[in-house]
């Protein structure tokens, strides 16, 4: 009798269990179906603005001289608007790049399935005439300052250094900038950095090589400050690139629908606080290089043959470099004088310089033309920042007077704009994206918990084997 009662009880429970499981499955399906739409289509822009409360990132940016709140305010109110206008000017719109290169490390097997992988090059008649006749100076033409400590960082620059654009190879980067026969001009406004479909093992191999071969494992107690900074620069650049891919993503290839993929941005950047912190770090690092070279950049000739546009470019440069708000709130974003203090620092500087050159060379291994374009531009921009902050030629007992190529300045300012856009995107969209994504994760967790309870109620024993 007792056994018969148990059987009848079990039979009466089963319909309710089945019904409950159907409800759970439907709820999970609806959740998984609506979640991507919310993330991908950017519906958060239409959501109500909730109180943010205490910012997730506050206090000083690590290894910098400015706090997160000040960076967000200055970027939103001052730097972002100025940079957006600056990079659209004819001078900063055209970038000279070597697109057809053999990978020095492995055979290129990159596959890119989208039309957006290709780069639209400029016909020779389009880009400015003054760009076609570079001035080349030999090392003997440069004035050197003697009497400085072997590895000391000079926080000042010759305010009367500009003597025309030159084409001297950057010791921090791999490309031969004097080989104009293999270089082509690209209109950056027609070739935006965004999702291209370049993915898979070939794409992952690039970043794996950058980190494993050139950046020491971090964090590690064995690393010195300079090695940590190299890692943080690369990590911050990686974060910025990921944000731009997520911010302009192909949501539907059939209808050519583009929008924000907040799921991707959350997975690659937002759920990793160190990656966000490194983004802010590289932004302040590059900003410091620009402000340190302010006198040089102010005097530079932004000649494109269009006098009205050239005057506008000069005005925007001065507006950016000498804005009172920036000078008052964050006069020295990063203090490079704290580095290269030990006796072995000359050897360490050469080692890190070679590591960054290797990173630069890896850009030739990118199997997607547009990805290669923006990889080369941003690595050259970062190499220019390193050149401004940490010497030029690496020769002992010499600190070379600053000389920049036109292409280096174009890359530097476009990189600063890219980083500014990323900081702006994280500040504006990050908190809501995190609430949405973490809310969906919480919903799935509750549904799984309910599933386990139903299995237990049905007398099926340990439900963990099914999950």
371 counts as catalytic: yes
Q: DSSP H helical segments within 216-343, as ranges?
A: 225-247, 262-265, 273-292, 294-299, 307-321, 324-329
Q: What is the pLDDT of residues 106-129, one digit of tens each?
A: 775 544 444 455 565 656 666 676
Q: What is the pLDDT of residues 331-375, one digit of tens each?
A: 999 988 888 776 677 788 888 889 999 999 999 888 888 888 999
Residue 76 clears pLDDT 80, i.e. is over it: yes
Residue 398 clears pLDDT 60, i.e. is over it: no
Average pLDDT over residues 210-235: 76
64, 112, 330, 371: the catalytic one is 371
Tell me the binding residues for FAD: 194, 196, 207, 235, 238, 268
Q: What is the pLDDT of residue 16?
A: 57
Whether 207 contacts 238, CB under 8 Å: yes
Element (H, E) at 415: helix 406-457
134-143, 186-195, 432-441: range with highest mean pLDDT: 186-195
101 counts as catalytic: no
Round to whole Å and give the CA distance between 60 and 167: 38
How many C-beta atoms surround the C-beta of residue 320 within 10 A? 23
β-partners of residue 402 are: none
Whether 387 contacts 172, CB under 8 Å: yes
How many C-beta atoms surround the C-beta of residue 123 within 10 A? 7
Q: What is the pLDDT of residue 156?
A: 46
Per the model's pLDDT, the better-predicted residue between 88 and 212 turns out to be 88
């Amino acid at each position: 009798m007792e056994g018969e009662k148990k059987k009848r009880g079990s039979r009466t429970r089963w319909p309710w269990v089945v019904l409950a499981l159907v409800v759970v499955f439907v709820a999970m399906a609806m959740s998984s179906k609506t979640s991507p739409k919310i993330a991908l289509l950017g519906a958060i822009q239409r959501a109500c603005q909730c109180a943010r409360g205490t910012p997730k990132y506050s206090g000083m940016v690590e290894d910098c001289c400015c706090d997160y709140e000040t960076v967000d305010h200055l970027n939103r109110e001052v730097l972002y608007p100025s940079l957006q206008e600056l990079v659209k000017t004819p001078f900063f719109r055209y970038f000279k790049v070597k697109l057809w290169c053999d990978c020095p490390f492995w055979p290129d097997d990159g596959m890119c399935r989208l039309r957006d992988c290709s780069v639209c090059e400029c016909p020779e008649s389009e880009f400015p005439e003054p760009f076609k006749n570079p001035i080349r100076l030999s090392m003997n033409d440069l004035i050197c300052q003697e009497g400085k400590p072997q590895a000391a960082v000079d926080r000042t620059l010759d305010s009367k250094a500009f003597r025309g654009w030159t084409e001297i190879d950057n010791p921090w980067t791999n490309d031969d900038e004097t080989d104009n026969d293999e270089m082509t001009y690209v209109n950056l406004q027609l070739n935006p950095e965004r999702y291209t479909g370049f993915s898979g093992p070939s794409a992952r191999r690039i970043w794996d090589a950058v980190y494993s071969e050139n950046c020491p494992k971090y964090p590690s107690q064995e690393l010195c400050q300079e090695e940590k900074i190299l890692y943080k620069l690369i990590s911050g650049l990686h974060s910025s690139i990921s944000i731009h891919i997520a911010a302009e993503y192909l949501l539907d290839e059939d209808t050519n629908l583009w929008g924000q993929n907040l799921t991707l941005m959350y997975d690659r950047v937002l759920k990793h606080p160190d990656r966000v912190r490194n983004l802010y770090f590289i932004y302040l690092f590059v900003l410091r290089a620009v402000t340190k070279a302010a006198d040089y950049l102010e005097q530079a000739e932004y000649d494109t043959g269009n006098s009205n546009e050239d005057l506008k470019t000069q005005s925007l440069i001065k507006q950016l470099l000498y804005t009172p708000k920036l000078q008052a709130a964050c006069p020295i974003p990063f203090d490079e004088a704290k580095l290269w203090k030990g006796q072995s620092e000359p050897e360490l500087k050469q080692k890190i310089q070679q590591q960054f050159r290797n990173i630069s060379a890896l850009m030739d291994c990118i199997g997607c033309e547009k990805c290669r374009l923006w990889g080369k531009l941003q690595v050259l921009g970062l190499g220019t920042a390193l050149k401004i902050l940490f010497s030029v030629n690496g020769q002992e007992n010499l600190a070379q007077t600053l000389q920049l190529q036109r292409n280096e300045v174009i890359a530097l300012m476009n990189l600063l704009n890219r980083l500014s856009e990323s900081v702006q995107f994280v500040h504006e969209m990050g908190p809501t994206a995190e609430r949405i994504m973490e809310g969906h994760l919480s919903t799935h967790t509750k549904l799984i918990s309910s599933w386990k309870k139903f299995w237990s109620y049905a007398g099926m024993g340990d439900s963990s084997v099914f999950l």
